Amino acid sequence: MSENMTLLRPRIRAGVRLNGADAGDAMFGEAILRTMARMDGGATLDDLAHAEPALPRQDLVSLVQSLDHAGLIDDDAAVQFYTGSEVILELEEIVEDHCKETIFRNPFWEACMAAQQPGELPEKLAIGMVIENWHFLFRESYFDAPVLSYVANTEVRLLLNQFFSEEYGHDEILMRALNYVGLSRDDMRDAIPLPGTMGLCNALAHWAHSEPLFFFATLGLLEGQTMKQDSFIDACERAGLPDGLVGPLKIHANINIGKAHGNLTRAIFKEIPVIESATVARLKRQARLFVELYDDFYTGVWRYYTSDQPILRRVSEL
Ligand SMILES: [Fe+2]
Ligand SMILES: [Fe+2]
């Protein structure tokens, strides 16, 4: 039994019968009897004390200790659990709420929404978004690889392997748009991603390694569950950006839509029958951080590509 008594939820492992209580101890004996009957693994020590105010706390503690020494109780609390589908709906709500305060107000997206006429979205900003997306997709194996061997659930593993096979090479689609604006494969291999882009890649790789359930939860937003990627394409078109740049983005977006990548997170969580409450709490804790990192990605794109800095940060110029 753990040291921290107040966290205990003692569960009695035997039947309870009170013998030999004389008249003077009868009330005290009955309080003990009732207390022992309440030790079903659901009530904490505080709950037990609260239910029996006449029983001094010290007596309650020594009762639990003596029962424990006699091997008559354990402290297995009934584990609370939820289905994967329940958990993902809750996580989506948290992510959606944080998005409203962050990503949906990000200057990058505000610029996209504001662009209604030709010329209203700076071409350099649009190209910058494609460059950083290319960096991200070029590194997709960093963060997908750890979950391709996910042994905990065969159905989930199959979904992820299918997903990766559909994703592989999407950087090449964006490369066509970059080629159109004069950036070659060699240029891109020479280019350094923005810190926000690399930060997002590294965080995803970390989660894929150490908290795969949370990594799965990020895929919906990244794959355009809220259709954000299309909002960028729509803005490019309203702003009259050339088809050589926008066309490949559309091809990529249509693959996501055709393969239902936006639904992947839900499809994965549907295959997970049980998640216990401690894990749910851990997943919720990461949700805000993920949205903030994603918001930083867009902020980074906005800051850098609306500045006078050169379009590429080159390794060869370091
Ligand atoms: Fe993709
Ligand atoms: Fe995708």
pLDDT band at residue 123 using 50, 70 and 90 as cut-offs: very high
| CATH label of the domain that carries residue 206 | 1.20.910.10
- Rounded to the nearest angstrom, the distance between the alpha carbon of 103 and the centre of ligand 2 is 20
Number of Cβ within 10 Å of residue 24's Cβ equals 8
Q: How far apart are CA 266 and CA 51, in angstroms?
A: 43
Residues 144 and 23 in one domain: no
Secondary structure of residue 40 in the 3-state scheme: strand
Residues 165 and 296 in one domain: yes
Q: Which of 311, 263, 287 is nearest to 134 (CA)?
A: 311
- Please compute the mean of the pLDDT values over residues 247-275 and round it to a whole number: 93
Phi and psi based region of residue 71 (left: phi greater than 0; alpha: psi -120 to 50; beta: remaining): left
Residues 51 and 141 in one domain: no
Domain end marker among 74, 95, 120 = 74
- Please compute the mean of the pLDDT values over residues 227-242 and round it to a whole number: 87
pTM recorded for the entire structure: 0.78
- Rounded to the nearest angstrom, the distance between the alpha carbon of 110 and the centre of ligand 2 is 24
Tens of pLDDT, residue by residue over 18-43, are: 665 555 567 788 888 889 888 888 88
Residues 33 and 53 in one domain: yes
65 contact partners, CB below 8 Å, separation of at least 6: none
- Rounded to the nearest angstrom, the distance between the alpha carbon of 182 and the centre of ligand 1 is 22
- Rounded to the nearest angstrom, the distance between the alpha carbon of 174 and the centre of ligand 1 is 10
- Rounded to the nearest angstrom, the distance between the alpha carbon of 169 and the centre of ligand 1 is 8
Name the average pLDDT for the chain.
Answer: 91
Domain end marker among 47, 74, 101 = 74
Domain end marker among 74, 100, 127 = 74
- Rounded to the nearest angstrom, the distance between the alpha carbon of 276 and the centre of ligand 1 is 32
- Rounded to the nearest angstrom, the distance between the alpha carbon of 205 and the centre of ligand 2 is 17
Range of the structural domain that residue 88 is part of: 81-317
297 in Cβ contact with 196 (< 8 Å): yes
- Rounded to the nearest angstrom, the distance between the alpha carbon of 12 and the centre of ligand 1 is 55
- Rounded to the nearest angstrom, the distance between the alpha carbon of 113 and the centre of ligand 2 is 23
- Rounded to the nearest angstrom, the distance between the alpha carbon of 167 and the centre of ligand 2 is 5
Residues 172 and 227 in one domain: yes
- Rounded to the nearest angstrom, the distance between the alpha carbon of 167 and the centre of ligand 1 is 5
- Rounded to the nearest angstrom, the distance between the alpha carbon of 219 and the centre of ligand 2 is 9
Bridge partners (DSSP) of residue 12 are 73
301 in Cβ contact with 113 (< 8 Å): no
- Rounded to the nearest angstrom, the distance between the alpha carbon of 299 and the centre of ligand 2 is 22
- Rounded to the nearest angstrom, the distance between the alpha carbon of 153 and the centre of ligand 2 is 22
- Which ligand is nearest the CA of 168, by number? 1
Q: How far apart are CA 66 and CA 172, in angstroms?
A: 69
Residues 167 and 306 in one domain: yes
- Which ligand is nearest the CA of 257, by number? 2
Tens of pLDDT, residue by residue over 125-177, are: 999 999 999 999 999 999 999 999 999 999 999 999 999 999 999 999 999 99
- Rounded to the nearest angstrom, the distance between the alpha carbon of 15 and the centre of ligand 2 is 58
pLDDT band at residue 86 using 50, 70 and 90 as cut-offs: very high
Q: How far apart are CA 55 and CA 62, in angstroms?
A: 11
Where does 102-169 have alpha helices with state H?
Answer: 107-114, 123-138, 140-148, 154-167
- Rounded to the nearest angstrom, the distance between the alpha carbon of 254 and the centre of ligand 2 is 9
Total domain count, the chain: 2
Residues 195 and 307 in one domain: yes
Residues 178 and 48 in one domain: no
Tens of pLDDT, residue by residue over 301-312, are: 999 999 999 999
Number of Cβ within 10 Å of residue 131's Cβ equals 27
- Rounded to the nearest angstrom, the distance between the alpha carbon of 261 and the centre of ligand 2 is 5
- Rounded to the nearest angstrom, the distance between the alpha carbon of 252 and the centre of ligand 2 is 8
Residues 109 and 59 in one domain: no
Residues 90 and 200 in one domain: yes
Residues 30 and 174 in one domain: no
Whether 77 shows a pLDDT value over 80: the answer reads no
Q: How far apart are CA 313 and CA 306, in angstroms?
A: 14
Give residue 44's pLDDT: 86
Transcribe 226-283 into DSSP letters.
Answer: T-HHHHHHHHHHHTT--HHHHHHHHHHHHHHHHTTGGGHHHHHHHT---EEHHHHHHH
- Rounded to the nearest angstrom, the distance between the alpha carbon of 252 and the centre of ligand 1 is 6
Q: Which of 82, 83, 79 is nearest to 271 (CA)?
A: 83
Residues 237 and 285 in one domain: yes
- Rounded to the nearest angstrom, the distance between the alpha carbon of 180 and the centre of ligand 2 is 22
Q: How far apart are CA 66 and CA 72, in angstroms?
A: 9
